[in-house]
Chains A and B, each alone.
Chain A
Amino acid sequence: MNIFDLQDKYKEREFSVVEIVSDYLKRIKEVDNRIKAFVTVDELGAIERAKELDKVDRIDFDKMPLYGVPIAIKDNFSTKDLKTTASAKILEDYRPVFDSTVVERLKKAGAVILGKTNMDAWAHGSSTETSDFFTTRNPWDLSRLPGGSSGGSAAAVAAKMCMASIGSETAGSIRQPASWCGVVGTKPTYGRVSRYGVVAMASSTDSPGPITNNIIDSTLILRVIAGKDNHDSTCSALEVEDYMKGLEDGVEGMKIGVIKEYFLEDMNEEIKEKVKKAIEVFEKAGAQIVEVELMDPKYAVAVYTIVQRSEVSSNLARYDGVRYGKGRKYFGSEAKRRIMIGTHVLSSGYYDQYYLKAQKVRRLIIDDFRRVFEKVDLLLAPTTPCCALKVGSTADQPMFGEMMDILVEASSLAGLPGISMNCGFSKEGLPIGLQIMADQFEEDKCLQAGKFYENERNIVSLEPDL
């Protein structure tokens, strides 16, 4: 059931919003003690909102395109009067006095916010294991991680605890958990969706985006949250496309690049196999498959390590416990590590060899993609080098996140859009993700290709056994 289906049921008065929301809240009560996707469940707020929505006589779906849709929000998005922690001890008791722009738009569109989801503290991670509170489990295998940093959001969708969720990606934090949890994760172009009110991680790549069960839901939500925001100087004033138009146009005639360097040597063979199978589906439908070369992704990892941590070290300087939150001694070790590297590479005597060098290589990465996108419309690749890892895998691995995100860091540094969607399962029953990337502000192409693949893919429809 997608959002349209749900809204049809509302139209026909088959269900009330209160009933639907109650069902989801019940589901959360049933399974979340095992999955632990939620930091805060706002039962009262959600029911109250549902009641309000039920009172609406004639629902205008143009004005409220997300009417009655139960959504979970990653806990780094400010929600007015609702605890917002970024899964960090320092913000354990923080209650914002304002809504982030994304949340404001979702509320205005009629969505019902069920609660806030768990993440790696401060979004520093690709596992959700470095949350300062608890580890979220992968619904497909509770002994495994959901990925991160939007792990809670991805797990909540996969476990059907919400209809859709909102995540954020700095480099992989939407696509990677979506891949490990077998759901659709959409990372829009940097600057497409406002960052106002989102706890800042890396200011120059942070991109809020939807995590959903299917492409249509992603499309609908993106349309609502995207667009100019006067509070965010880096948010584009470019008009938001009607992403629904052309969604079903298929891929015939599209030029699709397959990145040679992204099929890593030490990558899980099953992933390579399933992704290649997916590519064949595109080819059969008339897309022209072209092999392309990009810079070795290991360089993007190094650039990202330096740039992201520099921005992080500065963005976390505001947490001094004076105006809100706890003091700096409550930072977890991952946060401390990132702050210190960032501080070091910006410091006097080191700036040129690290930060400046990284920003130069970043320009080369951007130019690299530009060159490739002159020849192709889209790029296809696996999303992650491996499937969901076991809980505990991140211990003693200071570069865990970066290595997990090796296939998404370059495109994130370039600010490009990308989606990840399920293209099969491993022998162990773990989801495998296919990522579709496009040029700046061409997320409509990603969604179009994604819809095509969703319609045509021949994979066994599975559901996590909970």
Chain B
Amino acid sequence: MKLTKEEVKHIAKLAELDLTDKEIDKYQQELSEILEYVKILDEVDTKNVKPISQVTGFSNIVRADEVGKSFTNKEALKNAKRTKDGYFEVEQVI
């Protein structure tokens, strides 16, 4: 199952990754290889099998509506490269 260059570009866009042309070629090859491998799952009969996403078997894990501690402004901003007046600063988003 070979991916087209367009598909690779589309995936990169969805994932917010900037790829060079060289990278697009490289990943086109590698991703296709991996997708080829996982095709073996088609050999497994999963008719009437329900998918599972939680292996713990838990349900209804909730917390009471109580207020706990929060970070101070200083702590929250500590690792940010761009801050201003207590806010995080980003490029202008229209």
Contact = CB atoms under 8 A, between A and B. Distances in A.
Contacts of B49: 360-361, 363-364
A341 B56 contact: no
A230 B41 contact: no
B52 interface: yes
Contacts of B84: none
Contacts of B71: 97
Interface stretch (A218-226, A252-260, A318-326): A318-326
A103 to B, nearest CB: 17
A337 interface: yes
Contact of A234 (B31, B42, B56, B75): B56
B18 A337 contact: no
Interface residues of B, number: 48
B90 A398 contact: no
Contacts of B76: 97, 323
Interface in A332-353: 333, 336-337, 339-341, 343-344, 347
A320 B54 CA distance: 28
Interface string B1-45: 001000110011011111100010011001101110111111110
A206 to B, nearest CB: 12
Smallest CB-CB A-B distances: 8 pairs: A359-B51, A324-B79, A415-B55, A360-B46, A363-B52, A302-B38, A97-B75, A233-B61
14 contacts: A303-B41, A322-B88, A323-B76, A324-B78, A324-B80, A341-B31, A347-B14, A357-B46, A362-B52, A363-B49, A363-B52, A364-B46, A364-B49, A398-B33
Interface of B: 3, 7-8, 11-12, 14-19, 23, 26-27, 30-31, 33-35, 37-44, 46, 49-56, 58, 61, 63, 71, 75-76, 78-81, 88, 90
